[in-house]
Amino acid sequence: MRASVRLATATAAAALLIGCVSGPAASKPEQPKKAGDKVLVFSKTAGFRHDSIPTGITAVKELGAANGFTVDATEDAGAFTAANLARYDAVVWLSTTGDVLNAAQQTAFEQYIRGGGAYVGVHAAADTEYDWPFYGGLAGAYFQSHPAIQPAKVHVEDHAHPATAHLGTGTWDRTDEWYNYRANPRDRARVLATLDESSYTGGTMSGDHPIAWCQSYEGGRSFYTGGGHTKESYAEPAFRQHLLGGIRWAVGAAQADCRPEKGYTPIFDGTASSLEDWKQAGPGSLQLNEGDGTLKTVGGMGMLWYDRRELGSYSLKLDWRMRGDDNSGIFVGFPASDDPWSAVNNGYEIQIDATDVPEKTTGSVYGFHSADLKKRDRALNPPGEWNTYEIRVEGERLRVYLNGVKINDFTNTDPARSLRQGHIGIQNHGDADEVTFRDIRLKNLPTKGHPGKDGLGKVRPGKAVPMSDVTAHVTRHVVRRVTPHVTTHHSDPPAPATGSGAGQ
């Protein structure tokens, strides 16, 4: 059936691949208002007092002066009134310890968070308010113990969040006092970074040791980092950027997907070996930089597609960044082919393009269904910053989440197309377009209403099997096998000529 519609749709496909340049252009998306006007640093202690607190306060004030937000600092719990807290976009709990608020102050802070306020916890903020369940949930985990100050290796799990986007694919080596926690926050928060317990002595969390995380919590935002015990931490450029990114996200100056994430399998992790299951269709390429684990579009019009397995019911997540008014997209639901037009003819594209008509701009199902532009604009980070897509396919329903916010909900009714079975791919649109991708991962979802079909779109008896177990059971497509057309650089090449491309 797919082949029979090829000629009939060739003209429409050309319009989709090349893009419509004659229609009126939409205005540029409204970028999120920088809400980080005012931050309160709270550092009262009722237990152990860190001598790094004054250094930390100075660092936050310096970060604010350099990044457009003002900072007040206090150790007076009397600042926790509804009227006073309403003046602040976030409250940084800087190595607080013990029971520092009374019942009325706790109530005021709960109301502040539920009204959209933000919490930033640093180091001993996890050693605070053990008898206040709301605070324990907000912080994400309570302190249990710590070994001596020593070097350790930190592994970044989320390269799109502004608190960790500056850290590369290698380990983040630093010295600090490394906390063990009473519970693992992974089930309720997005873990941004973990400790490698084999790299130091004294870790007690059985190899899964989160050290920084974020979450939405009862109407507000919460970011926590376990770093910051030592005075030296606040002079480290990477740690200062880590702290700044957490504050920027908390106050709403930057967006990120802070929903818990479990069960995803990497299909591109920033290494050349992870590209062995990808093929280039059409001209151009995607350029690999193993230093920062990214793929950058080069030339076009082509597509790098994942040919290891055909997908049926799944969640696809990936991080992407635009240089400016550039153009790319993610194709889903198309058959195996070395021709990029096959994806246009038979699949759907989730667009990446700063400016175009509503059904052809970022978040749209290109040419078919506009995103909710108001939600999209609030969730979208501007060019130069990372964004995260979740593309969720279940049956003929396709949902798009941008930085954790659902911005599109589309159901296919075209009999010539189907989302129930197909491949995924990322587009390299043209010489003037530069879009970068990293951390592409997949998770199988249960197939609703089709008990004999697993998450790969293959008809099989019984239940869907985990993605990690299916390789031996998948019948590979009989297509010519070629080496993926990617170029590898350990440093960024010269940028292509600037300019915006039309189309999808």
Tell me the C-alpha distance between 347 and 331, whole Å.
7
- Cα(first)–Cα(last) distance of the chain, in Å? 25
Between 105-114, 135-144, 263-272, 485-494, the lowest mean confidence (pLDDT) is in: 485-494
Cβ neighbours around 199 below 10 Å, total: 16
Q: Are strands 278-281 and 302-311 parallel, antiparallel or unpaired?
A: antiparallel
CB 110 within 8 A of CB 133: no
- Section 76-99 average pLDDT: 98
Q: Which residues contact 78 (CB under 8 A, 6 or more apart)?
A: 105
Q: Which residues of 92-105 are buried (b: 16+ CB within 10 A; e: fewer)?
A: bbbbbbebbbeeeb
Q: Which of 194, 158, 169, 212 is nearest to 386 (CA)?
A: 158
CB 125 within 8 A of CB 48: no
pLDDT of 216 = 98
pLDDT of 480 = 28
pLDDT at 18 over 70: no
Tell me the C-alpha distance between 159 and 166, whole Å.
8
Q: Alpha carbon of 504 to those of 17, 23, 218, 356: distances in Å? A: 6, 13, 38, 9
Q: Which residues contact 1 (CB under 8 A, 6 or more apart)?
A: 416
Band (501; pLDDT cuts 50, 70, 90): very low
Band (13; pLDDT cuts 50, 70, 90): very low
Per-residue pLDDT tens for 54-78? Answer: 999 999 999 999 999 999 999 999 9
Tell me the C-alpha distance between 100 and 97, whole Å.
7
pLDDT at 4 over 50: no
Per-residue pLDDT tens for 403-423? Answer: 999 999 999 999 999 999 999
- Section 467-484 average pLDDT: 33
The residue length of the chain stands at 504
pLDDT at 15 over 60: no
Tokens 């206040």 locate to: 132
Q: Which of 413, 393, 392, 395 is nearest to 450 (CA)?
A: 395
Q: Is 133 helix (H, G, I), strand (E, B) or coil?
A: helix
Tell me the C-alpha distance between 331 and 310, whole Å.
13
Q: Where does residue 334 fall: left (phi above 0), alpha (psi -120 to 50 degrees), or beta otherwise?
A: beta
- Section 146-150 average pLDDT: 98
pLDDT of 48 = 97
- Section 212-241 average pLDDT: 98
**Amino acid, res. 386:** W
Long-range contacts: 104-109, Cβ < 8 Å, 24+? 105/77, 105/78, 105/80, 105/81, 106/80, 106/132, 106/134, 106/135, 108/80, 108/81, 108/82, 109/80, 109/85
- Section 261-272 average pLDDT: 96
Q: Which of 103, 89, 113, 94 is nearest to 37 (CA)?
A: 89
- 472, HSE (Cβ side, Cα atoms, 13 Å): 1
Tokens 């030339």 locate to: 299
- Section 398-405 average pLDDT: 98
pLDDT at 251 over 90: yes
Band (290; pLDDT cuts 50, 70, 90): very high
Tell me the C-alpha distance between 170 and 154, whole Å.
9
pLDDT at 473 over 60: no
Helix count (H) and strand count (E) of the chain? 8, 25
pLDDT of 9 = 31
Tell me the C-alpha distance between 341 and 468, whole Å.
30
Per-residue pLDDT tens for 167-189? Answer: 988 899 999 999 999 999 999 99
CB 1 within 8 A of CB 334: no
pLDDT at 458 over 90: no
- Section 346-365 average pLDDT: 93
Average pLDDT of the chain to the nearest whole number: 85
Tell me the C-alpha distance between 284 and 17, whole Å.
14
Q: Which of 243, 203, 208 is nearest to 223 (CA)?
A: 243
pLDDT at 3 over 50: no
Q: Is 208 helix (H, G, I), strand (E, B) or coil?
A: coil
Band (484; pLDDT cuts 50, 70, 90): very low
For residue 263, which phi and psi values (nearest 5 degrees)?
A: 85, 10
The residues facing 369 across adjacent strands are 365
Band (448; pLDDT cuts 50, 70, 90): low
pLDDT of 300 = 83
